Copies of this chain bind each other. A is one copy, B any other.
Amino acid sequence: MRKGFHRDLEALRADLGRMCVLAGVAARHATCALLDTDAEIAERALADVRRISALRNSVERRAVELLALQAPVASDLRAVVASIRIAADADRMGGLAGHVARLCLRRHPAAVLPDELRDTFATMSQLAVDLSDQCQAAVLTGCSVQARRVCDGDAAMEDLHRSLFEAINSPRWSHGVAVAADVALLGRFYGRFADHAGEIAHRVMFQETGSPALKASV
């Protein structure tokens, strides 16, 4: 039974890793849609998001089954509870990529971004993909060192997010109000994506150390 439990837990972890990677793929597709004004690739991002949500439902169901049938304790219990929370964060990362894709579709065939902000969003997208891959590594290895790399990336995203507000608030901004509102929201979507990656990293650290290194959600 113990062996069965650990095999099931490994399978949960593998699916959590898949969810993280898929969230990065969804962010990449959504950003391509944003940069190329491409409705087809926006739809592809939304399909990624649906796959992530299906995985979340599966992870949640199996985690509750493990709690019911195996009544794990100590670090095994922490690992199962963490898997429910990590699945919620990875699902939310997918949801945020979905918001980017839907904003592209709402504005299509018009472009959402002014040219001078394309590079910033391309960099934010690459950071989102890197964070997602690092989250997968942290989840699969349970290693705090991997998890800490995610926190560094989260801080870098915050800097980019701030630079967008500086652009909007600059007297040189010439793209009007509606574009500014879109850029403010888009910046927040990428920023929150990174925050959730950071929360996954903190969950991994918590599992390893048992101490509540929860990221404050405020």
Contact = CB atoms under 8 A, between A and B. Distances in A.
Interface of A: 46, 49-50, 53, 57, 61, 64, 67-68, 71, 73-74, 77-78, 81, 84-85, 88, 91-92, 94-95, 98-99, 165, 168-169, 173, 176-178, 180-181, 183-185, 188, 212, 214, 216-218
| A-B pairs with lowest CB-CB distance, top 4 | A71-B71, A181-B184, A98-B218, A95-B218
A184 B94 CA distance: 22
A8 B185 CA distance: 42
Contacts of A169: 177-178, 181
A49 B218 contact: yes
Contacts of A88: 85, 88
9 contacts: A57-B212, A61-B212, A67-B71, A84-B84, A177-B177, A177-B180, A181-B181, A181-B183, A185-B188
A81 B64 contact: yes
Nearest to A168: B181
Given A57-B214, A188-B188, A181 B180 contact: yes
A88 to B, nearest CB: 7
Contacts of A99: 218
A66 to B, nearest CB: 11
A122 to B, nearest CB: 21
A85 B60 CA distance: 11
A185 B85 CA distance: 26
A91 B217 contact: yes
Given A68-B77, A85-B88, A173 B184 contact: no
Contacts of A50: 218
Nearest to A181: B184
Contact of A77 (B49, B53, B61, B64): B64
A84 to B, nearest CB: 7
B95 A53 contact: no
Nearest to A96: B218
